Structure 1
Amino acid sequence: MKPLVAIVGRPNVGKSTFFNRMIGERIAIVEDMPGTTRDRLYGDTDWNGRDFTLIDTGGLELGSGVPVGQVGLHGQPGDLMDHVMAQAHLAIEEADVIVFMVDARSGITTADEDVARELRLAKKPVIVAANKADNKDRRMDAVEFYNLGLGEPIVISSIQGVGTGDLLDRIVEELPPASELEEEEDENLIRVSIVGRPNVGKSSLLNAITGTNRSIVSNVPGTTRDVIDTNIEFQGHKIRLVDTAGIRRRGRVGVGVEKYSVLRSERALERSDVSILMLDATEGLAAQDTHIAGAIHENAKGVIVVVNKWDMAQEQRKAEREGVFAHPDDEIQSAEEYREILAEGLKFIPYAPILFVSAKTGYHVKSILETAIKIAQMRYLRVPTARLNEIVQDATRRHSPTVIRHKPLKIYYATQARVNPPTFIFFVNDTEAVHFSYERYLENRLREAFSFHGTAVRLQFRPRSKDSDERRTKESEGRH
């Protein structure tokens, strides 16, 4: 694994600005407001030939009483600041090098002294970075940070880029020796995004899958504002899980932090192979759920509809019966009823499997990963051209194409252009003669023949040309 470098410090000292500059893109949300970063974010970068991973964290406010290296929470259950603190401490615990960021404009504060005291106990290499030193006077005044007892401060301006090279030099010097065991990106990695409207249990599901408090879990809608990537191994497969902020309809997205969260969630969906669409069993199918499902379908992703909080829904169902004896088959019956409702509301993704789970208790959580692996494998299925055309010819014999403007559609042949998603090109006499209902019919025939369960497929129609005929001849010669 690449060495880890954690960026820590009190709130609003510029940690996320530095993180984004080093990564080269706006991954962390940046607002001139303390406490914007809540979860810890990871991003890969390199300097002087060394690859490493930066970790951006929420601001440390050590009045919480949580010692460095411990994950335990204190105070009132569900207190958001306690969770933010726990995330920062986890980053410190797993880091190889710690960048302690301070604000050169305000000088040493009591909060800085508290953080420095804790970092000395962490027994990790610590580099003090005096940020926001945007002019000569601030750079001269930054010498006072020697008093933190953590060595020479590196004076930087994350916004201007001043001094960041010196800081990176120090980071590389403190990294553990390069290892031959450092892993490159695995081409077989399965990317799974967890999407859904706010407060349906996305972070709880991620925690249930990984068995750790990898993401902040809170009952406050929209708690997760940053995309969180987690790599795991399951049944011999490498999977990258992406927990995202709740996606809301564009018309209801506010400015600032929430806006960037939604954009990042949509980007996470775009870079995934399979999306887990989480619904709340106690609330039923909402308009926002269908909006998200539509985005998944438009991006031609694999999809699993996960109905979370199924245990709570069952309790509500029993309560509504007012004490009537529950038959053992009641849960099966209610699940089938629920499935029919979802099938009607999500009829544009009829290929999506529906799973009933409880992230809180772990009920059926394992089956989500098993299903995701099967769908990801199906997305890489390559169909032999000869077999594909047999299916297409049989389909046209069974049901002739619809005649549009007195011009019948003729399908000369088809070929698979790519995988992930499976994409098929049909060469026809006239692309305008393709009716959407017949396109859907062809897609259904392909699904029946090749079991494209759980994934979207793309059908493209092109006019036959001399080049396409020559390409088809070469493909035929290659098979022989």
Structure 2
Amino acid sequence: MIPIISLIGRSNVGKSSLFNLLTKTNSSLINNKEKTTRDRNYGFFVIKKKNFCIIDTAGIDFFKKKEKKNFLKIESYNQTKFAIKESNFVIFMVDAKEGIQELDFYILKKIRKENKSIILVINKIDKISNKEKIIDFYRFGIKKIYKISVSHKKGLSNLLKEIYISSKKIIKEKEIKTVLSNKLNYLIKIRICFIGKPNVGKSSLINSLVNYNRMITSSIPGTTRDIIKVSLNNKNIEYIFTDTAGIKKKNKRKTILEKVSEKRSINVIKKNNISIVVIDANTEIYDQDLSIINLVIKSKCTFFIVVNKWDLILKSKKNEIKKNINSRLQFIKNIKIIYISALYKTGLKKFIHHINLVYQESLKTFSSSCLTSILNKAIIQHPLPTGVTGKAIRLKYAHLGKKNPLFIIIHGTQTQYVSRTYKKYLMHFFQKELQIPNTPIQLFFKKSINPYIKLIN
């Protein structure tokens, strides 16, 4: 069993900064604005060749009577509460600069209800000169106290030692062996990211797939901010789903947080095996949807399209809407469109089946003779035009460069004059002949050099 640690505390005490430092990532958003983190964010780090899981959580706050209906605040709190329950021990983080607060006692009371071992971490010690503020924190009655500065990387070595020692006391060796043996059963890992406009149902879809409320879902656009990863284990396959922030139009991005969230959403596409573009069936396909699809195409990532909220469409209008969607997406050839309802969990079996199919496609290997034969067949069916210099363009043979994404190298003469439209024709021809309609192909044209050219000159 990998030890699980949750980071708990008020907003803006440095939980996300410590999370990013330990995991050596920028998975958690950092901002001076309070309540930046909303969901549970999981990461991993290593101490002495031992793996640890750490959970970044939303800052806990008092609940006022007026805020009982504040959905996001309640859900953020529930996510934090769940993190405390599933962790082996808790890092309770406080701010040395602001000193001890009434809210700190309130949070500590919530942690102690779960009967977890607690490490008190006093952050921002570089910002104080009066040590009396630190002495105040001893009133909590916590034995394990560590003073650090995340921004200056001070005091971290002692904290890491304590984490390592605490884990050895709490986690039994038998449990570790049991879970490790179970982990080995999952031979295949497929990384899938969900991308789309805000409020199309990306988080709801992941919650339905894993069968519990892992992500906060809301009708309020922009609820998801961080890059959140969730695993689903099924039939020796581990599916690693990544939820991303919804991508808005440039003129509708209001805050720095929204801009950073969306930039990360774009970067995460390249780190996954498959991208899922989620579209809302209840609205038309807007230019923003097309822009997101173009973004995925340019990234050369394997992808397909999911139309969510299909339950909201009347039976009499479903065929009409399908025609409209196909018409708007006619510029994409061979890409599968799956209609689902994340709310009612319809179409999810088909969805998982297609993920497996697409992943298998992306791993196929093709011989040079097979690829060259398909190249020649494509040229016979649609001959190459003459280059701009008047010289004939000749494509001689093709071979595989790499897989996932598929990279085919084509050798010939005057290849620099092959037009964009002919390149697209070849790409679609290869997809059809190789029976990999969902896998994008990158073509690289290599110019053959005449070895006797220097002798002629």
Give the alignment's TM-score, normalised by structure 2. Answer: 0.91
User: May I ask how many residue pairs the two structures share in their alignment?
Assistant: 441
Specify the alignment match of 1:318 in structure 2.
Answer: none
1:364 aligns with 2:347: yes
Is the Cα contact below 8 Å between 1:10 and 1:112 reproduced in 2?
A: yes
Letter in 1 for 2:81: H
Tell me if structure 1 keeps the 8 A contact 2:5–2:87: yes
**2:383 equivalent in structure 1:** 400
- Map of 1:303-452 to 2, 5 A cutoff? 303-314=303-314, 330=315, 334-405=317-388, 406-452=390-436
* Structure 2 counterpart of 1:81: 73
- The 3-state SS of whatever aligns with 1:217 is coil
1:149 aligns with 2:141: yes
For the residues of structure 2 that align with 1:379 and 1:460, how far apart are their CA atoms?
18
- In the TM superposition, residue 91 of structure 1 has moved relative to its aligned partner by 0.9
Q: Would the alpha carbon gap of residues 131 and 139 (structure 1) be closer, same or farther in structure 2, given more than 3 Å must change? A: farther
Distance in 2 (alpha carbons) for counterparts of 1:192 and 1:425: 27
Task: Determine if the alignment matches structure 1 residue 113 to structure 2 residue 105.
Answer: yes
Greater shift after overlay, 190-199 or 404-413? 404-413
Q: 1:101 aligns with which of 93, 99, 111?
A: 93
The aligned residue for residue 158 of structure 1 is 150
Query: Gapped runs of 5+ residues in structure 1?
Result: 66-73, 315-329, 468-480
Task: Say which is worse superposed, 193-202 or 40-49, in terms of deviation.
Answer: 40-49
Match of 2:444, SS state, is strand
Whether the 8 Å contact between 2:43 and 2:55 is mirrored in structure 1 is yes
1:327 paired residue number: none
The answer to whether the 8 A contact 1:409-1:430 is kept is yes
Distance across 2 between alignment mates of 1:203 and 1:32: 26
Alignment of 1:49-198 (within 5 A): 49-63=49-63, 75-76=68-69, 79-135=71-127, 137-139=129-131, 141-175=133-167, 176-177=171-172, 179-180=176-177, 181-182=179-180, 183=183, 188-198=188-198
In the aligned structure 2, how far is the partner of 1:349 from the partner of 1:53?
40
1:385-419 per-residue CA deviation (whole Å, 9 max, x = no partner) reads 21121111122122211222222221110001111
Instruction: Report if the CA contact (8 A) 1:197-1:247 is conserved.
Output: yes
Q: In the alignment, what sits opposite 2:39? A: 39
Partners of 2:107 and 2:140 in 1: how far apart? 10
Decide whether aligned partners of structure 1 residues 402 and 2 sit closer, same or farther in structure 2, where only a CA change above 3 A counts. Answer: farther
Give 1:225 shift: 0.4
Mapped partners of 2:148, 2:74: distance in 1: 30
Question: What code does the residue aligned with 2:236 have?
Answer: G
Q: Counterparts of 1:433 and 1:80 in 2: how far apart (Å)?
A: 56
CA distance in structure 2 between the aligned counterparts of 1:338 and 1:378, rounded to whole angstroms: 29
The answer to whether the 8 Å contact 2:431/2:439 transfers is no
Q: Deviations over 1:277-296 (max 9, x none)?
A: 11111111011111110111
Q: What secondary structure sits across from 2:133 in the alignment?
A: helix
Secondary structure class of the residue paired with 2:372: helix
Stretch deviating more after TM superposition (29-38 or 227-236): 227-236
Question: C-alpha distance in 1, partners of 2:28/2:46?
Answer: 18
CA, structure 1 residues 110+344, in 2 after alignment: closer, same or farther (shift >3 Å)?
same
Give unmatched runs, 5+ long, in structure 2.
452-457
Distance 1:335-1:354 versus aligned 2 partners, 3 A rule: farther
- Give the drift of 1:202: 0.8
1:372/1:99 Cα in 2 relative to 1: closer, same or farther (>3 Å)?
same
Q: Which amino acid aligns with 1:168?
A: L
**Amino acid corresponding to residue 361 of structure 2 in structure 1:** M
Q: 1:100·1:127 contact (CA, 8 Å) conserved in 2?
A: yes
TM-score (norm. length: structure 1): 0.87
Q: CA RMSD in A?
A: 2.2
What CA distance in whole angstroms lies between the structure 1 residues aligned with 2:418 and 2:236? Answer: 43
Point out 4+ residue stretches in structure 1 off by more than 4 angstroms. 183-187
**1:24 CA drift (Å):** 2.0
1:298 corresponds to which residue?
A: 298
Q: CA deviation at 1:7?
A: 0.3
Instruction: Deviation per CA, 1:196-220: give whole Å up to 9, x if none.
Output: 0001111111111111110000111
Cα gap change, 1:427 to 1:54, in 2 (>3 Å): same
Give 1:185 shift.
Answer: 12
SS at 1:189 equivalent: strand
